[in-house]
Structures are given as C-alpha cells and as structure tokens.
Amino acid sequence: MSRLRILTLFSLGFFGLLTAYLYNLRTAMAPNIRTEDVAKLGAIVVGSGLAGLSAASQLISHDIPVRLLERAAKPGGNSIKASSGINGAPTKYQSVVDDAFYADTVKSAGKAMSAMTAHREKLIGTLTNSSSAAISWLVDTKGIDLSKVAQLGGHTFPRTHRGAGQTPPGFSIVSTLLKSLKESPIFHLQTSCTVTKVLQADHRVTGVEYACDDGEKQELHGPVIFAAGGFGGDAEGLLAQYRPDLAGYPSTNDPRPGTQPLLTAVGAQLIDMDLVQVHPSGFVDPANPSSPLKFLAAEVLRGEGGLLLINGKRFINELETRENVTNAIVATAPTSQSPKQWTVQLVLDEGVYNAAKSHIDFYIFKGLMRKTTIADLGEDALESIQQYASAAAGKEADSFHRTAFAHWALTDPTPESVVYTGIVTPVVHFTMGGVVISDRAEVLNGDGEKIEGLWGAGEVTGGVHGGNRLGGSSLLECVVFGRTAGDQCAEYINNDSK
Ligand SMILES: Cc1cc2nc3c(=O)[nH]c(=O)nc-3n(C[C@H](O)[C@H](O)[C@H](O)COP(=O)(O)OP(=O)(O)OC[C@H]3O[C@@H](n4cnc5c(N)ncnc54)[C@H](O)[C@@H]3O)c2cc1C
Ligand SMILES: *[C@@H]1O[C@H](CO)[C@@H](O)[C@H](O)[C@H]1NC(C)=O
Ligand SMILES: *[C@@H]1O[C@H](CO)[C@@H](O)[C@H](O)[C@H]1NC(C)=O
C-alpha cells in the first residue's frame, strides 16, 4: 500500500470517527484521543434536571454537540417535581417594583454570610441580577407560561412565577426544554447511565467514566458540566456523614447517592455541606409506609387551619416556622428507624378542605389522605380537636398560643364529625451545600482556582443560598448557572478548536 493511501485511509478513518462522535454519537470510548483534541468532541452534561437541561440548551444554541448522561430511567430529576415556582425580579408579570431580591437572599442566607463573604455576595448578585433574564428566556424564547406570581415565605415581594393552568412549574419547564432539545440532531440523551468518575489529564478534565444498565464501564471524552443534583436522598451516605442527626431520614428527593465525592476527587472544594433544609411534613403513604421517598404535604394545609397530633395530642402552634415544627416533632420518639420517621396526624375539617380543595382532592386521589370521622383518629383526638375548635371559635385561649385558625369551621366536634387526615413525618428537602463554583459556574479547587474543563450548576453546587434557601430560588439557580455553564463551556470548546 502506498504511503498516500495509508494516510488517506487514516484520515478518513479519523474524520469518520470524529463525525460519529460529534453527530451521533457512538458513546463508546474514544481510542487514544489526545488531550488537546478532547474539546472538539462536544460537551458532556451529567444530570437531566433543570440545571443540566439549561446547560444543554445553551450549548446547542452555540452549535456544540451535547452528550447528556442520566442515571435514572426517566429524565427530569427532582426538578420535574417542583411545585411552587421560579423566582425572578423584575419581570413583566410583577405589578410592584421589586428591588429587594438581593437583600432578601442575603438575609435568608444568615450566619453563613460571615465566611467567604465576598464570594457569596458575588454569587447572590449574579443569581438575582440574572433572574429577570432567566424568566424572560423561559417565557419569551421557550414559550413557557409563567404568568402567575406568588409571594412565598422570606420574600418581601411576590416574585415566584408559575403557570396560570394546573400544570406544576417544574413539569412544564422541564418537559418544554427536553422537547426542544430532542428536536436537535446534535443532542444525545442516554438514560440509565451513571457517571462513576471524572477523568483528568494534564490538569484538565477530559471526560467521564460511566456505566449503563449492562454494568460495563465506559469512557466518554470532552469537557464536563456537572448538574447531578443534591444529596438530600442520600440518607445513609453524605447526609449521615455531614449531618449524623439526619441519617436515615426520608426525603422528598429521589433516593440516590450524592455526587460531590466524584468532584472532590478531581480537586473540587466543598462548602456548607452541613446546611440542610428539613420540611416538617412529608406524607407517609399507607400503601408504602417505609418508602424513603415521600410526597410533600403543602404548607398551605397547616396555614389554612389544619392541626397536627402525635398520639392524639397537639404539641405545637402549627403556624410556627418549619424548623420549629420539625424540632417539636423530632423531640418525640420516632415510630420507625428505617427510614427514621414519626407518626404525625394532620387533621383538617370541612372548612379547611374547602379552602384547599384542589390540593386535598389530589392527595386523596394519591391515597395520601382520606376522609373519615373523628372517632376513627384514635384515643385523645376528640378532646384535642374539641379544645382546638373552642380556641378557634374564640371561647378559650389556645394552649399552644395559636391565634390564627384560618378556615377551620367545625365548632362542636363529635365522634361523628367529618375530618380529612393523613400521616406526615419530617423529610429532608434540600441541601444547600455542594461544590464551590465561581460566578461563571467554574468548579473551583481549594485555592479558589478554576478546574479546567469542568463546570457545575444546580443543587450539586453550594454557596448560593447560605443557611437557608428561599423558596423558588433553586429552580432559578439551575437556569442562571446552568446557562452560564453552557456558555462558558461553548467558549472553551470554540477557543480550543481554533
Ligand atoms: C418535591 C419538590 C418540590 C420542589 N419545589 C421547588 C419549587 O417550587 N421551586 C424551586 O425553586 N425549587 C423547588 N424544589 C427544589 C428544586 O426542585 C431542586 O433543587 C432542583 O430541581 C435541583 O435541580 P438540579 O438540576 O440541580 O438537580 P435534579 O433535578 O435533581 O437533577 C439531577 C439529575 O442528575 C442525575 N444524576 C445524579 N447522579 C448522577 C450520576 N452519577 N450520573 C448520571 N446522572 C446522575 C439524577 O438522576 C437527576 O436526574 C423542589 C424540590 C422537590 C423535591
Ligand atoms: C448586580 O446589579 C447591581 C445593580 O446594577 C450591581 O451594583 C451589582 O454589582 C451587580 N452584581 C453582580 C454580581 O453582577
Ligand atoms: C421558634 O422557636 C424559637 C426558640 O424556641 C422561638 O424563639 C421563636 O419565637 C419560634 N418561632 C416562632 C415563629 O414561633
């Protein structure tokens, strides 16, 4: 064979291979790709929640091929379950001038602001300053309805956006982004594939090792955006390590190991790993009481007048903060160790039912609540409910100093009175901590320097929320830092290919 023919064959082979990688995307290991050429293969995104989908959308808008690896069989992560909405200010749906988003976020972050102050201020400034553009991207570019604005706890103004219809915001945002990505020939999603290692050579990240259902480990090469979510569902792993008091707790998050160790293995720095949001009320499903995954019982049930009983007795003013209600519950003996949970009865009357009908009908449909009579709630419940009703009617002071009873209507409870009830227990809801990132979503090492070829976005990162995340700000961080990561990674690839 002549030298020319060999060369031609070689280069044809090489370009064929490269094209296959770029445009579809055989995902087997690239043989002997040089570190310098890695970026030409396109970008790797780990995790198909909102952070990963935002990053992927941005990469595709820059014509960069994307290989998205997702551990679960279905895409969407915890993002698809989000029910309250996404923050933004100012937006075209706000009727008030909202200039307090930054200040509210700093206030909610609390004591955590005293360490790495300048870094945190920059992240929060980026989050809040970019929130207007994030909403407008979802609404005007992607066509998602976010026209309803609500005011959640800790917010000075209404700024949490959701759609006007029945579809929850997490579902509508995730499904719309996914649909538009799937229309692109340079987007390739693989589900049931778990990333097990981040690859590094010559001080830059060069790809990932992963295993799909069949179990065999493979490699994929290219710069990496990590968007693998939080560790709220890692009850016996990272949670037990950083918050031993929460070990074994059930969660509203899917049960899965946290991924921060994959990133610290390539030098990433961690922050705020002990700062965890616990919600006082996740439903214990009577059909599957020991599931580690719980469905959230909306706060509105307590707010509209519902009461909480342990062994038939009230134990707190139900309107206290999430933290106080949780503390009061966990001060009692748990009724199960695995998962670690308590048996708290949530009780509503017809008045509360009518005020929160759509929620409660849905919970009844899911088998998480039921309509019954007080006689069915066990010993002591009647007396407790009678006292509560009497306080609600203004006949006596409430022994737990509750003064607002909202829609409670039952004035003379008897064993035959109709009530709506479900069992709830505290659940881990959100992990504030994670890997340290810059305001450009670069994953930083212990010296505060960026790790070449690696970006992070969403709940896997830490530092944006400090001690307490404001409702609606996690979807926002996914969009803001996910899109930034996509832009930065595209720039890195384009510079590298010049
Ligand atoms: C019930 C519920 C309601 C919520 N409501 C709201 C709300 O209204 N507003 C708000 O702002 N926030 C809300 N949150 C919080 C918010 O939804 C999450 O913080 C956010 O969605 C996290 O997005 P993410 O993209 O970072 O991670 P996720 O959406 O969790 O996605 C991460 C993905 O990465 C995958 N993954 C993990 N490890 C690997 C691996 N090794 N290899 C490959 N893939 C991997 C996971 O399977 C997952 O699909 C809610 C959370 C829950 C649970
Ligand atoms: C956010 O915007 C304000 C007002 O324009 C500006 O002072 C601040 O520096 C910005 N913060 C960041 C991190 O961009
Ligand atoms: C929560 O508990 C703390 C400490 O007991 C108390 O000072 C505070 O007032 C409580 N918060 C509410 C809203 O009741």
Query: Could you tell me the domains of the chain?
Result: 79-185+226-275+432-496 (3.50.50.60), 277-428 (3.90.700.10)
Q: Is 132 a pocket residue for ligand 2 (Cβ < 6 Å)? A: no
Q: Is 191 a pocket residue for ligand 2 (Cβ < 6 Å)? A: no
DSSP bridge partners of 442 = 455
Catalytically annotated residue among 204, 243, 256, 302:
302
Q: Is 129 a pocket residue for ligand 2 (Cβ < 6 Å)? A: yes
Q: How much is the mean pLDDT over the chain?
A: 92
pLDDT tens for each residue of 313-371: 999 999 999 999 999 999 999 999 999 999 999 999 999 999 999 889 999 999 999 99
Strand 295-296 with 276-283, pairing: antiparallel
| pLDDT at residue number 298 | 87
* Alpha helices for 229-307 (secondary structure H): 238-242, 260-264, 300-303
DSSP bridge partners of 212 = 193
The number of the ligand 2 atom at minimal distance from the alpha carbon of 124 is 13
Chunked into runs of 10 residues, the chain (498 residues) has average pLDDT values of: 41 40 39 54 95 98 97 98 96 94 97 98 98 98 96 92 93 98 96 98 96 93 97 97 98 97 98 97 98 93 93 96 95 97 98 93 97 96 98 96 95 97 98 98 98 98 97 98 98 84
Write down how long the chain is: 498
| Residue appearing with tokens 């969660």 | 251
Residue pair 274/243 in contact by the 8 Å Cβ criterion: yes
Q: Ligand 3 test: best mutation among 319, 321, 324, most atoms within 8 Å of CB?
A: 324
- Supply the residue whose CA is at minimum distance from atom 7 of ligand 2: 125
Q: How far apart are CA 352 and CA 270, in angstroms?
A: 44
| Residue appearing with tokens 């049931």 | 192
CA distances from 367 to 14, 142, 340, 345, 350 (A): 57, 35, 21, 15, 18
What are the backbone dihedrals phi and psi of residue 233, each rounded to the nearest 5 degrees, phi first?
-95, 10
| pLDDT at residue number 32 | 53
- Supply the residue whose CA is at minimum distance from atom 12 of ligand 3: 320
Distance 348 CA to ligand 2 centre (A): 46
Residue pair 66/224 in contact by the 8 Å Cβ criterion: no
Query: Is 157 strand, coil or helix?
Result: coil
148's tokens = 């309803």
| Residue appearing with tokens 């989000």 | 82
| Residue appearing with tokens 């909403």 | 135
Distance 91 CA to ligand 2 centre (A): 17
Strand 43-46 with 224-226, pairing: parallel
* Alpha helices for 256-356 (secondary structure H): 260-264, 300-303, 322-330, 350-355
Q: Is 126 a pocket residue for ligand 2 (Cβ < 6 Å)? A: yes
Q: What is the pTM of this model?
A: 0.91
Distance 401 CA to ligand 2 centre (A): 43
> Closest Cα to residue 322, out of 408, 429, 475, 458?
429
Residue pair 280/325 in contact by the 8 Å Cβ criterion: yes
279 included as an active-site residue: yes
pLDDT tens for each residue of 40-61: 579 999 999 999 999 999 999 9
**CA dihedral over 481, 66, 262, 427, signed as positive or negative:** positive
Amino acid (one-letter) located at 321: T
Q: Ligand 2 test: best mutation among 119, 124, 129, most atoms within 8 Å of CB?
A: 129
| pLDDT at residue number 25 | 38
429 included as an active-site residue: no
Task: Classify burial at 434, counting beta carbons within 10 Å of its beta carbon; exposed 0-12, middle 13-18, buried 19 or more.
Answer: buried
Q: Is 496 a pocket residue for ligand 3 (Cβ < 6 Å)? A: no
Catalytically annotated residue among 162, 204, 243, 279:
279
Q: Is 35 a pocket residue for ligand 2 (Cβ < 6 Å)? A: no
Which ligand places an atom closest to the C-alpha of 328?
A: 3
| pLDDT at residue number 299 | 83
